Amino acid sequence: MMTAPASTTTIDLTQRFPGVVTPDARPGYSGFIVEKDKLVEVATAIRDELGFDLLTAVTGVDYLPENKMEVVYHAYKTTGGPGLVFRVQVPRVDPVEVPSLVHVYPSADLQEREAWDLLGIKFTGHPDLRRILMWEGYEGHPLRKDWQEPFYEEEVKPFKSRWPDGKFFMAEDRNPFKDNLKFPQNFDPEKWIPENDEMLYQSLKRYTVKSEDGMTTDRIVVNMGPQHPSTHGVFRAALTLDGETIVGLKPVVGYLHRNHDKIGERNTFLQNMPFTDRLDYFNSMSNNFGYAITVEKLMKIPVAERAEYIRVIMAELSRIQNHMVFVGMLLNDLGAMYTPALYAFEERELILDIFEAVSGSRMMCNYFRFGGVVRDVPDDVLQKIKDLVFDRLPGKTDEFERLLSENEVLVSRLKGVKVVDAETAVKYGVTGPVLRAAGVPYDLRRADPYSVYDRFDWDVAVRHNGDMYDNYLIRIDEIRQSLRILQQAVKTIPQGPINSQKPQYQVRVPAGESYGRIESPKGELAFYVVSNGKPNPWRYHVRPASFVNITCLEQMCIGTKIADFVALLGMLDIVMGELDR
C-alpha cells in the first residue's frame, strides 16, 4: 500500500504568500491553489526556497460543469520525500491563459505544449508553443470534455447499443468518416500548405547566418525519421547542423498518437487496465503497476500481501528484460548488429514465458487488478522464476559483461561521450537510469517508496560520470540489483489470497484526485486520475517517462556530433507507444 501522500501540509506556502496561495479544500484533493498572476513567483519560491527541484508532471484538467480549467503541477525533491501539488484555476473562456513555467522548470516544456495541444490552455511566455501530438492545422482540442472523436458513439462505456439488443454494426457504417470529421473553415486540402514545418524550422533558428572570418556560413537542417530505422519507432528529429556539429534540435512526435487519455476517460476504471499495457509495450507489468496503485490510492483499499510480492516479482522481471534488450538495442544502434540483441532476446524470451504462464499473454499482460492481481502464480511457475533468478540470469548477466563491458572498441566509443550532467538532467525532468548515471541517486523505489520495496535489501544503482559508458553500466547494475530483490522476494513470498477485494467488474471509486508514480525501467511513470464518483474517470492522464525525458534531448545533443545522436537517443530508451500515447 502506498505510504507517502502526494502532498504535505508541513510547508506553509499560505503564510509565505498570503492571499495568493490557498489550500485546496475540495474533498479528496490536496495541495494548493495559486493565483494565476503570481504563479511564476510562487513556483520560483517553491523551487529555490523550498527545494522542490524536480517538476515531474504538468497536467491540464477540464472541469466543464464548473466551467473551469485547471493546471496541476507535481513537484518533488530529488533528495526524496513527498511532493508538493500546486494548481492554477482559470475560467473556461477562450483564450484560456496560464503563465508558462518553462523558465522556472524547463521540464514543463513539452508537457505544456501537450496541454495546449490537447486542452487548449495557452501558456503565455512559452517560447515555442506549438501543437505536439496532433498535427498542425488540426481543429479543436481533443481532451476537452465537449469534443467528440470521429466514430463517437456515447459519452462513456459501456455503450447501450451492445446489450440487451446488440444488433451488430460497424462503426464506419453507422458513422461514415466524412460525417464526423471537422475541418478548419475554408479548408481545401489541395491548396493547404502545412505551416507546421515552417514554424518548426523557425524554432530551430535555421536562418541564423553566422559570419566568421568574413565568410558567410549557413546551417543545414537534417530531418531524421520518422522512418529512420534507428529512431526506435516513428520518432522524428529536426536537427540543425553546423558542419557535423548539432546546434539545434527539435523532436517531432505524435505519429503514433491515439489519444490514450481520451480513451481512458471514456472507459471505466477497470477497462483502462488492458489499455495501459499498450503504453510501454516492453513493460506492461510496470504500467499495470502504476495504474493499479494510483486507483488503489483513490479507493483507499489495501493490497493483498501475496499480491504485493507477486507485483514486485513481475515488475523486476520486467525491468531485467527491458534493460537487457536496451543494451542489445544500444549495440545495434552503434553498429554491432544483432549478436548482443539476440543474446538479450534469449533471456527476454524466458521471462516472457513466465508472463504468459501467469497472465496469459506475453506482452499485453493485463495482470493487475485493484487490490491485487488477477490470478495466483502456480508453484511450477514460481519454481521457474526461482530457476531463472538463482541459476540462469546471474550467469547470463556475467556473460553479457564478458561480451561487452571490457571490449576496447565499445569502451572507446562510449567513454567520455557526455550524455547529460546532473544539474541539466534535474532541470529538464529526466528520471530513471539516465538521471542515476549522472550521479543523482533518485530511485522512486527508495525516494518515495511504494508497494513492499522497503522490505528488501538492495542498493540504488548510481554512477557518476554521466557519459555513455556509465549509462550502459548502470543498466547492468540495475539488472543485478533487480536480481537481488527478486531472490529475496521469491524466497519470502507469503501464502494467502491474491486480492483483497472481491472480483467485481465495476469498481466504486470515491471522488477526488490521485497521483501515483512508480519507477518504471525507463524512469518515472505516473498516472493522474480524477474521479467524480461515477464509474468512469473524469480525468485520466499518463505521465510517461519517455515523453518527459526527451525534453532534455536538445540539451543532450547540442555540441555533439551528429554521429552521436542515434546513440544519445538510444540512451534515453524511448518507446513510442508510451511517448505518443
Partner 1 sequence: MYGKGILKGLSVTWKRFWDTYLDDISWMIRGKKRYHSEEGIKHRSSKNTRGIFTVQYPEERLILPEEARYVPFLVYDEGAEGKKEVRCTSCGICAKVCPPQCIWIVRSNDPNTGRPIPEPTEFYIDADICMNCGFCAEYCPFDAIIMDHDFEIASYSRNVYNMEKLLKPASYYKSIRPENYARNEAERKAKEAAKAAKAAGAAPAS
Q: Which residues bind partner 1 (CB under 8 A)?
A: 157-159, 161-168, 170, 267-268, 270-275, 339, 343, 346, 349-350, 353, 356-361, 364, 366, 374-375, 384, 387-388, 391-392, 399, 402-411, 503, 505-506
Task: Count Cβ neighbours within 10 Å for each residue of 442-480 and write b for 16 or more, e otherwise.
Answer: bbbbebbbbbbbeebebebbbbebbbbbbbbbbbbbbbb
d(C-alpha 45, C-alpha 17), whole Å: 10
CB of 452 to partner 1, least distance (A): 24
Closest CA to 524 of 541, 545, 505: 545
- Closer CB to partner 1, 37 or 399, in the complex: 399
- Closer CB to partner 1, 150 or 226, in the complex: 150
- Closer CB to partner 1, 217 or 412, in the complex: 412
CB of 378 to partner 1, least distance (A): 9
Contact 418, 467 (CB under 8 A): yes
- Strands 68-76 and 372-373 come out as unpaired
For cell 499482460, what's the residue?
A: 365
Closest CA to 148 of 5, 36, 262: 262
- Closer CB to partner 1, 182 or 415, in the complex: 415
* Cβ atoms < 10 Å from Cβ of 351: 23
Q: What are phi and psi of 54, to 5 degrees?
A: -115, 110
- Closer CB to partner 1, 123 or 367, in the complex: 367
CB of 408 to partner 1, least distance (A): 5
Q: The dihedral of CA 279, 281, 282, 287: what is its sign?
A: positive
CB of 162 to partner 1, least distance (A): 4
CB of 165 to partner 1, least distance (A): 6
d(C-alpha 314, C-alpha 347), whole Å: 15
CB of 260 to partner 1, least distance (A): 12
- Closer CB to partner 1, 38 or 375, in the complex: 375
CB of 278 to partner 1, least distance (A): 8
From its phi and psi, is residue 369 left (phi > 0), alpha (psi between -120 and 50) or beta?
A: beta
CB of 63 to partner 1, least distance (A): 26
- Closer CB to partner 1, 30 or 267, in the complex: 267
- Closer CB to partner 1, 403 or 558, in the complex: 403
Q: Helix crossing, 305-334 with 468-492: angle to 10°?
A: 150
- Closer CB to partner 1, 374 or 422, in the complex: 374
- Locate all alpha helices (DSSP H) within 284-371, ordered by sequence: 284-299, 305-334, 339-359
CB of 367 to partner 1, least distance (A): 10
- List CB contacts of 567: < 8 A, sequence separation 6 or more: 330, 333, 334, 414, 417, 468
Question: In a 10 Å sphere around its CB, with 0-12 CB exposed, 13-18 middle and 19+ buried, how is residue 128 labelled?
Answer: middle
- Closer CB to partner 1, 112 or 316, in the complex: 316
* Cβ atoms < 10 Å from Cβ of 305: 17
If you ran DSSP here, which 8-state letter would residue 79 be given? T
- Closer CB to partner 1, 271 or 465, in the complex: 271
How far is CA 483 from its chain centroid? 24
Q: How many CA atoms lie within 13 A of 255 on its CB side?
A: 15
CB of 507 to partner 1, least distance (A): 11
d(C-alpha 323, C-alpha 117), whole Å: 32
- Closer CB to partner 1, 167 or 178, in the complex: 167
CB of 149 to partner 1, least distance (A): 14
- Closer CB to partner 1, 101 or 329, in the complex: 329
CB of 187 to partner 1, least distance (A): 30
d(C-alpha 164, C-alpha 387), whole Å: 49
Contact 338, 332 (CB under 8 A): yes
Question: In a 10 Å sphere around its CB, with 0-12 CB exposed, 13-18 middle and 19+ buried, how is residue 544 labelled?
Answer: buried
CB of 571 to partner 1, least distance (A): 21
For cell 543545414, what's the residue?
A: 220
